[in-house]
């Protein structure tokens, strides 16, 4: 028997359009995902057709309702999440003008330099909380301005991917403030569009939608959208949040002192802040949270569990991950002087360097495969600690608890190494549905079924495990100091090596 009412979280990621139904106790009732593909028509380009997102959301929503034996009338509210930083351009009639440019599109290096030149890097960081990076929305707008003037002349609305779904669901334009902060057009402190940045980049302010907090109701399901999706006309749709902020909401990282650590292919460290703090050099992302009047720091490591995946596939493809990792349990902390630099895909935090490379440092005849495995686990933990160190230096304060999720979190040994390197308690929680779950909780707040985001998290999220630092914690500071010295020592060589293989 399904406990009603239900909450619907919709997630437009790079790879799939997901619909998740949950009840008010946080129990997942049903889930459906329709795959999405991306287009790379030229080197460095990454695009998707917004119509494919809508088609995927329609199908996944209908599928999730059918699996649950639910109707549109059972849904109290809808929450939205999805990939951040993308660029959706619409004309005066709401028609899509060109394929959406995605977060991982890398064509805008020149436009990033233009933004820094017009505003000054230091001023840009102070206003927006971030340096200009190719992934953000603002440089994409300038690229279209410079390279596709016939398209640019028709632009009347600028949206993010999930906000295109909002438009199709409600016929209303809107954007959550967590997503808006990821455009590089936001005044972080004021939680709204920066007129100074818009003026410097010559982007009309009326092209941008009104902004909302994560639980705010932004519109109602239209009759047309109801017919397409199976939802009921008049169902409220809330602001929601960008994928990382919604993911953090989904594990309960909504108060300062509780950090969300996602140990997936990439590694993400997400720290809620009570004030709009900024890392002076822009080495951390600083965005608005889905929680009203809260902000967050975010550090991103490009190859976290991805490093272990690569190592397994290349070194021991015939072993299970458990067998491979368990060998490392008998190796002492510090891997007897063997270090692994986890920069297999370049790096973002704290070294925004696409030319950074992976390496083992300190190999001797004494070292075995078990040492190499442990060095990979420790190297990723050291890389995650880099983000923690920056966050604390930027003024976060005490870290009370780290809520860990993602594929890498399934390994007890890796969790223990991570707890020891970070020197803090790690906990796992019962929620594994990520950003869509957080979006559903925000929908519940918007519908008045929870009094606050914090209350929603307490009602739906339970701790399932705990890993506390043990005696090995004392060993790691000396090893971490040596790890931190490796990138500065080798950065110039990484750049020189890249020229050899161009």
Over range 247-273, report the average pLDDT. Answer: 93
Q: 350: cis peptide before it, omega within 30°?
A: yes
Examine the pLDDT at 288 and tell me if it is beyond 90.
Answer: yes
Beta strand spans in 100-223 (E): 100-101, 157-159, 175-176, 186-187, 192-193, 211-212, 217-220
The model carries a pTM of 0.92
Q: pLDDT for 144-156, tens place per residue?
A: 999 999 999 999 9
Q: Residue 91 carries which DSSP code?
A: -
- pLDDT bin (cut points 50, 70, 90) of residue 1 is low
Residues 299-313: b if buried by 16+ CB within 10 A, e if exposed: bbbbbbbbbbbbbbe
Dump pLDDT digits (tens) for 353-397: 888 999 999 999 999 999 999 999 999 999 999 999 999 888 887
Cβ-proximal residues to 291 (8 Å cutoff; 6+ apart), any chain: 213, 214, 249, 254, 272, 453, 454
pLDDT score of 398: 79
Whether 42 has a pLDDT exceeding 70, the answer reads yes
Q: Quick one: average pLDDT of 432-452? A: 96
* Helices 435-446 + 453-460 axis angle, to 10: 120
pLDDT over threshold 70, residue 321: yes
* Interval 129-138: pLDDT, tens: 999 998 899 9
- Distances in Å between the alpha carbon of 321 and those of 93, 161, 325, 487? 52, 35, 6, 28
Average pLDDT of the residues of the chain: 95
In the chain, helix, strand, coil percent, each to 5? 40, 20, 35
Q: pLDDT digits over 45-59, tens only?
A: 999 999 999 999 999
The 3-state DSSP class for residue 189 equals: coil
Residue 253 scores a pLDDT above 80: yes
Q: Would residue 313 show up in a list of annotated catalytic residues for this protein?
A: no
32 pairs with which residues across the strands? 19
Catalytic residue among 74, 131, 176, 243: 243
Q: Which phi and psi (to 5°) does residue 152 adopt?
A: -60, -35
Q: What is the mean pLDDT of residues 5-18?
A: 96
**Is the predicted pLDDT of residue 3 greater than 90, yes or no?**
no
| Longest pairwise C-alpha distance within the chain | 71
Does residue 400 surpass a pLDDT of 90?
no
Structure tokens that stand for 99 in this block: 């394929």
| Tokens 């075995």 sit on residue | 368
> What's the rounded Cα separation, in Å, for the pair 54 and 99?
13
Asked if the model's pLDDT at residue 179 lies above 90, the reply is yes
- CA gap 292, 41 in Å, rounded: 39
4: how many CB neighbours lie within 10 A of its CB? 15
pLDDT band at 97, cuts 50/70/90?
Answer: very high
Contact of 79 with 9, CB cutoff 8 Å:
yes
pLDDT for the residue 348: 87
Asked if residue 443 has pLDDT above 80, the reply is yes
Q: Name the pLDDT band for 4 (thresholds 50, 70, 90).
A: confident
């Amino acid at each position: 028997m399904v406990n009603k009412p239900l909450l619907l979280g919709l997630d437009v990621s790079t790879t799939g359009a997901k619909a998740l139904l949950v009840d008010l106790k946080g129990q997942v009732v049903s889930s459906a995902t329709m795959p999405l593909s991306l287009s790379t028509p030229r080197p460095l380009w990454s695009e998707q057709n917004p119509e494919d997102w809508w088609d995927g959301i329609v199908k996944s929503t209908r599928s999730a309702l059918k699996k649950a034996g639910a109707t549109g009338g059972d849904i109290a509210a809808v929450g939205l999440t999805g990939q951040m930083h993308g660029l959706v351009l619409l004309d005066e009639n709401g028609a899509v003008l060109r394929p959406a440019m995605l977060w991982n599109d890398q064509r805008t290096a020149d436009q990033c330099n233009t933004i820094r030149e017009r505003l000054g890097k230091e001023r840009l960081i102070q206003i927006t909380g971030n340096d200009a990076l190719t992934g953000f929305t603002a440089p994409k707008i300038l690229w279209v301005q410079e390279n596709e003037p016939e398209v640019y002349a028709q632009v009347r609305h600028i949206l993010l991917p999930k906000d295109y779904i909002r438009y199709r669901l409600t016929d209303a334009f809107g954007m959550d403030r967590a997503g808006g902060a990821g455009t590089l057009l936001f005044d972080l402190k004021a939680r709204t569009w920066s007129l100074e940045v818009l003026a410097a980049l010559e982007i009309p302010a009326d092209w941008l939608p009104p902004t909302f907090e994560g639980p705010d109701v932004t519109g109602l399901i239209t009759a047309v959208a109801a017919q397409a999706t199976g939802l009921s006309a008049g169902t409220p749709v809330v602001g929601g949040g960008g994928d990382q902020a919604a993911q953090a909401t989904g594990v309960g990282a909504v108060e300062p002192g509780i950090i969300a650590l996602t140990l997936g292919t990439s590694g993400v460290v997400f720290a809620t802040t009570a004030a709009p703090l900024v890392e002076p050099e822009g080495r951390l992302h600083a965005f608005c949270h889905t929680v009203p009047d809260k902000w967050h720091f975010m550090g991103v490591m490009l190859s976290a569990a991805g490093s272990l995946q690569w190592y397994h596939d290349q070194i021991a493809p015939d072993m299970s991950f458990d067998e491979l990792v368990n060998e490392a349990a008998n190796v002492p902390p510090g891997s007897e002087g063997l270090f692994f630099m986890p920069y297999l895909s370049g790096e973002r935090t704290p070294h925004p360097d696409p030319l950074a490379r992976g390496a083992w440092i300190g190999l001797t005849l004494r070292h075995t495969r078990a040492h190499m495995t442990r060095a990979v686990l420790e190297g990723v933990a050291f890389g995650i600690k880099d983000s923690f160190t920056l966050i604390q230096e930027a003024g976060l304060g005490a870290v009370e608890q780290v809520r860990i999720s993602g594929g890498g979190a399934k390994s007890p040994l890796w969790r223990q190494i991570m707890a020891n390197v970070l020197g803090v308690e790690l906990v796992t929680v019962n929620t594994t549905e990520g950003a869509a779950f957080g979006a559903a909780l925000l929908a519940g707040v918007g519908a008045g079924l929870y009094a606050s985001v914090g209350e929603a998290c307490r009602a739906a999220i339970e701790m399932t495990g705990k890993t506390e630092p043990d005696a090995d914690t004392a060993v790691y500071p000396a090893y971490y100091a040596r790890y931190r010295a490796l990138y500065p020592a080798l950065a110039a060589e990484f750049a020189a090596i890249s020229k050899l293989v161009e």
